[in-house]
Structure 1
Amino acid sequence: MRMIYLSPVPWASFSQRPHHFVDWYHHRTGATVLWIDPYPTRLPTLDDFRRKPPVANPQNTNAPAWLRVCKPHSLPIEPLPGSALVLKRLWRNLFREVMAFSAEKPCMMCIAKPSELALQLLARIPASRAVYDAMDDFPAFYQGLSRRSMARRQTQLIQRVDKVLASSSPLRDKLLGMTDQIELALNACDMQRLAPVESLDLGPKQQVIGYVGTLGHWFDWDLVIALAQANPGNRIKLIGPLFTPPRRVLPANIELLPECAHAGAIAAMATFSVGLIPFKLNRLTASVDPIKYYEYRALGLPVLTTRFGEMALRDKEPGVWIVDEDTDLRKAATDALASRSDRSAIQQFREAHRWAVRFSSINLTGCALETPQAP
């Protein structure tokens, strides 16, 4: 059964959950996938004009033979009343391409972000099975009219699909109020991009506590500064785009480094002694299962993390130190830095948390996953 996949990220971006999902689906079915790149689903903000473009990563510039990429024409007006009338005119060619694709053979649809386009396609292909892969609490990323618009479209989407996949336990529990056709499908890690287990440096290294990722408004600067002050003999290395700068002078042992391509980020992680996930506790982080966790642990790193999202449920997992308000930051860092990972345990973790393993465990009844079909 062919697939139409509405992605929240462009095909040309570095490989993320959507890329691994369609790759898994193709290799399980042999079917062709029509990938639809995202378009703006909120009104623009001043920050959009201040941000630098992301570091280029050309790994997905070429699509495989079994995948077609569509780029919708659009304007950043979706939350405005009446915008659908304008957008539908811009999408006429896309509608024709999708209808031709779905007319050739039976087709299912996977929607990885709520949008007016997704609702329009569901209405045009009512006979297709449809899945909503809820990767995040999407309304939490927006404000005002854009948030209300996204919440409304997500509710409409959930009412129209056959199944919802939730990327974290808290998100599943939240969406259970809208549907009982929901299944947990946690995040995972692209193990092929990591160095072989036998080549990992599992010794003490330089006792660096490190973070790789965006430093946005969810990043807990107060915690990181307190951690640095409690452990003046250790370096804290922060790598990524700085969207929300700290409001005070940083201790000398905090090092800020610019964003790098994904391969460079993974290489940088391998030099850490401890992986850090210092996220604030708010609506945005409450539904998150951070891929950083899987990358850190797959590299043999212990993890220092706040009690947010799926991480709140990992306080008994090996190699995880949860940091709360009353945590002794000196002791937590010392204990994490002193811990050592076993190569066989790392290999077992990698095998258990591959994307293909994750997706193979979900039940997409009626989607012909057992026998590959010709594209």
Structure 2
Amino acid sequence: MRQLVYLSPLPWASFAQRPHKFVEWFHATTGGRVLWIDPYATRLPALRDLRRPSAGASGATVNRPKWVTVEGVRALPIEPMPGGTFINRLAWRAVAERVARFCAAEKTLLVIGKPSAFAFDCLEHANAARSAYDSMDDFPAFYTGVSRAALARVEERIAAGVDRLLVSSTALRARWQTLRPDARLIYNGLDPGVLPAADVAKLARLGDGQPKIIGYLGTMGPWFDWAWLTALAKQRPNDAIRLIGPVFSQPTGALPGNVRMLPPVPHAEALKAMREFDIGLIPFIRNQLTDGVDPIKYYEYRAMGLPVISTGFGEMRLRGNEPATFLIDAPDQLGGAVDAALRCRASDDGIAAFREANSWAARFDASGVLE
């Protein structure tokens, strides 16, 4: 493959996640150009949209290499309605033609990171040499009503039509097992090149009885378990609970005084802030939204040598036997879990091995999308 069209589930101007790492891997592997398509609204508007933080509140920085071209899709938020896609095709005609011309120039891989009517049109008409759908979430579960039903239909058509179906968790693989038994499980990962060195000397002092920093790095959305977090803070009043990231879902009550909420910062700064943590947290509610999630922050915490305390959601539910990983759903057990986590020890060799084994390059090399 000489080129890539990537239909992304998130804008280029956002924290670098799996989509960004995929296009970086593609370019590093092939030297090819990338046409990145930012997402558009595929559901009907909702009142909660008025309460969402602004796009600039993510703390993300924008750094676009010369080999990446970013395009947007003009569309009204009417896709689930009868006739909505027909109307939107008039609006997105120019970018659809741009994708087709790009695919005609050289042998091109089309990767769909978010299901949509536009994505299906590209799959059907852009004439890419090869195609893949990277199923990173149970996307319909984020929607309700006609929006959920419409997205589920178009997602199934895309999954059936692509050459390769990738999934990021065992739950997503099970979801597609009947339609695509050939789905390939490609877990999330980490980028060793952007991670600061772990402070192994500090980690060796975890059990010294001094107050610790128990931290969370990431978005706090509807999946964030504030009750769990509050219980932890109350059981560890001498420790600092530090939360870094955008807040999409506010806590329902007052938080204990040892909880400090910090605004989002660029990813490089966030990773440096993680270096100050003594324990990493992943307090997600267990529901349909999180069943298919393989949290990137797990890999980043462990790659920094941190012990992890998490609820047993998504892919985390299978990691109870992993080193320095504690799955706690009962709030009254959180204090003891912290004590156990503080007895864990990290080593430079162990951290280096974890980083190499779980790198994005290792993940995508195994995807088979370039075969």
* Secondary structure in 2 matching 1:188: coil
Answer with 305-314 or 143-152: which moved more: 143-152
Are the aligned partners of 2:58 and 2:246 in contact in 1 as well (CA < 8 Å)? no
Counterpart secondary structure, 2:121: helix
SS in 1 for 2:230: helix
SS in 1 for 2:140: helix
Partners of 1:55 and 1:261 within 8 A in 2: no
Give the residue type in structure 1 aligned to 2:195: L
**Residue in 1 that maps onto 2:299:** 294
Other-structure match for 2:57: 55
Shift of 1:198: 6.5
Question: Which secondary structure state, in structure 1, belongs to the residue aligned with residue 288 of structure 2?
Answer: coil
Please give the alpha-carbon distance, in whole angstroms, between the structure 2 residues aligned to 1:55 and 1:340. 36
Report how far residue 241 of structure 1 moved: 2.2
Aligned-partner Cα distance in 1 for 2:217–2:60: 20
Distance change in 2, residues 1:21/1:200 (3 Å):
farther
> 1:130: which partner in 2?
131
- Extract unaligned runs of 5+ from structure 1: 369-375
**Greater mean deviation of Cα atoms: 106-115 or 51-60:** 51-60
**Aligned with 2:242: secondary structure?**
strand
Instruction: Report the counterpart of residue 149 of structure 2 in structure 1.
Output: 148
2:341 aligned residue: 336
CA distance, structure 2, for counterparts of residue 355 and residue 79 of structure 1: 34
Contact 2:216 2:244 in 1 (8 A): yes
Q: Deviations over 1:21-50 (max 9, x none)?
A: 111112222222221111111122222222
Q: Does 1:269 align with 2:251?
A: no
Q: Which amino acid aligns with 2:62?
A: N
Structure 2 counterpart of 1:46, one-letter code: L
Q: Residue 200 of structure 1 contacts residue 270 of structure 1 at CA under 8 Å; is this kept in 2?
A: no
Query: Structure 1-normalised TM-score?
Result: 0.92
Offset of residue 229 of structure 1:
2.0
Equivalent residue for 2:227? Answer: 222
**RMSD of Structure 2 on Structure 1 (CA):** 1.9
Following superposition, the deviation at residue 240 of structure 1 comes to 2.1
SS in 2 for 1:180: coil
Structure-1 separation of matches of 2:127 and 2:261 = 50
Hey, what's the Cα distance between the residues in 2 that align with 1:126 and 1:120? Answer: 10
1:114-166 CA deviation, whole Å, 9 max, x = no partner?
Answer: 00001111111356321000111111111222111111111111111111100
Aligned partners of 1:200 and 1:299 also within 8 Å: no
Provide closer, same or farther for how the CA distance between residues 188 and 299 of structure 1 changes in structure 2, counting only shifts above 3 A.
Answer: same
Between 88-97 and 202-211, the greater mean CA deviation after superposition? 202-211
| C-alpha distance in structure 1 between counterparts of 2:19 and 2:222, whole Å | 25
Q: Equivalent residue for 2:358?
A: 353
Tell me the alpha carbon deviations over residues 249-300 of structure 1, each in whole angstroms, 9 at most, x when there is no partner.
3222222222222223212211111001011110001000001101111111
Q: CA deviation at 1:232?
A: 2.1
How many percent identity over aligned positions?
A: 45
Q: C-alpha separation between the residues in 2 aligned to 1:274 and 1:159?
A: 42
Cα shift at 1:200: 7.1
Structure 2 counterpart SS, 1:210: strand
Q: Which runs of 5+ in 2 are unaligned?
A: none
Residue among 236, 239, 243 paired with 1:238? 243
Counterpart Cα distance in 2 of 1:281 and 1:199: 32
**Structure 1 Cα separation of the partners of residues 145 and 264 of structure 2:** 29
Shift of 1:326: 7.3
Mapped to 2, the partners of 1:225 and 1:245 lie a distance apart of: 13
Preserved CA contact (<8 Å) 2:200 2:347: no
Matches within 5 A, 1:102-251: 102-126=103-127, 128-197=129-198, 201-202=202-203, 203-204=205-206, 206-251=211-256
The 1:14/1:221 distance shift into structure 2, 3 A limit, reads: closer
Aligned length: 365
**Could you list the per-position Cα deviations for residues 284-336 of structure 1 after superposition, in whole angstroms to 9, with x for gaps in the alignment?**
01000001101111111100000011101110100101102276222111111
Q: Secondary structure at the match of 2:154?
A: helix
The aligned counterpart of 1:312 is 317
1:58 shift after superposition = 6.0
Report the counterpart of residue 29 of structure 1 in structure 2: 30
